[in-house]
Amino acid sequence: MPAPTNRFKIALKEKRPQMGCWIGLASPYAAEISATAGFDWLLVDGEHAPNDLRSILEQVRVIEASDSIPLARLPIGETWLIKQYLDAGIQSLLVPMVETKDQAEELVRAVRYPPIGSRGVGSSLARASMFAAIDDYLTTADDQICLIVQVENRAGMAALDGILETEVDGVFIGPADLAADMDHIGQAGHPEVKAAVLDAIKRTVAAGKAAGILTTDPEMQRQCLDLGATFVATDIDVTRFASAIRTSAQQALSLLPDQTASGRMTSANSSKYLQQLCKHWSHKAEVEFNETHGRINFSDGKSVEMSATQDYLSIVATTGARSDLEHWKQIIEQHLLRFAFREDCTPIWDQSSS
């Protein structure tokens, strides 16, 4: 009996696009939920998620029971660690931070048995061989291993043509690290970064290798697929859950009444205070104002509305149901005092405010 057929590797060879999702919650239960979604593949992340081989294997097992194909990203491309992942039965590996042709060649050797490779022979102890139940594992395993290398900095980009000359199965372009190395940290969508990524996708496809990427930008996803990318991750379980649960909490709290506080500050310069505060916060919030009325709305639900007369400034401070109204009042006071026009004035808040 031969080693299990690697459906992911076959799909890449046949140039059939495979759509996937990044799994970083480090939970078999969450991975099992993701496995019901219908993605072609799910990658369990061992580089940036709090995983070790045991926790990765637990997640791989539940994914294997679904129609999705499990992949795993190692924390680093060390031969001894690759051996452990392979022996655990993980057939498709992503290795981060590959920067040279020599490094890629060494990784190719690490996923193959001697004499052409350096993978240690211990299949009788390994889940990969079903604990020696697969008689032909040693002679058939190499053909079913899929090695994807991750190119994600300028050094790797410079060495890409050489990397593509090796026997890796594919190249995954990492936009986030590449953006940082290109001095655009946190800006994976920067035009220079996007141009570099798309160029790398083109070169990879032209070399006959599978090209891949993780991007949550629909336009970038489409561009990469149009260029021939065949494994594209479009979402991340961590960010998907974080966004959904925060939205849910906001919706729940929005059912409760806001907290408000009314106050008044006596000053002949009330219009100046109003305009100065609106101008100061205009780069952080939505602001509308003229000489007598102003409103400032922050994205977190805080707001302040002001009306100015010749003698005083009326203030209405508003926060969400669970925000700290007293702290918000203090912030408003501190900013108004910072703009004091050679006078000693402090807002007096209505004690009945709520």
Question: Exposure of 176 by Cβ count < 10 A (0-12 exposed, 13-18 middle, 19+ buried)?
Answer: middle
Of 135, 152, 80, which is closest to residue 111 (Cα–Cα)? Answer: 80
The two structure tokens encoding residue 270: 């009330």
What is the rounded distance in angstroms from the CA atom of residue 178 to the CA atom of residue 215? 13
Neighbour order of strands in the sheet with 293-297: 286-289, 293-297, 303-308, 312-319, 259-266, 348-349
- Which position has the token pair 């000489």? 291
Contacts of 205 (CB under 8 A, 6+ apart): 211, 227, 228, 229
Contacts of 277 (CB under 8 A, 6+ apart): 294, 296, 304, 306, 332, 335, 336, 339
Catalytic residue among 48, 190, 280, 335, which? Answer: 48
Question: Exposure of 77 by Cβ count < 10 A (0-12 exposed, 13-18 middle, 19+ buried)?
Answer: buried
What is the rounded distance in angstroms from the CA atom of residue 144 to the CA atom of residue 138? 11
Residue 93 near residue 212, CB atoms below 8 Å: no
Of 315, 314, 313, 281, which is closest to residue 300 (Cα–Cα)? Answer: 281
Of 314, 287, 327, which is closest to residue 303 (Cα–Cα)? Answer: 287
Residue type, 353: S
**190 labelled catalytic:** no
Q: Which residues are catalytic?
A: 48
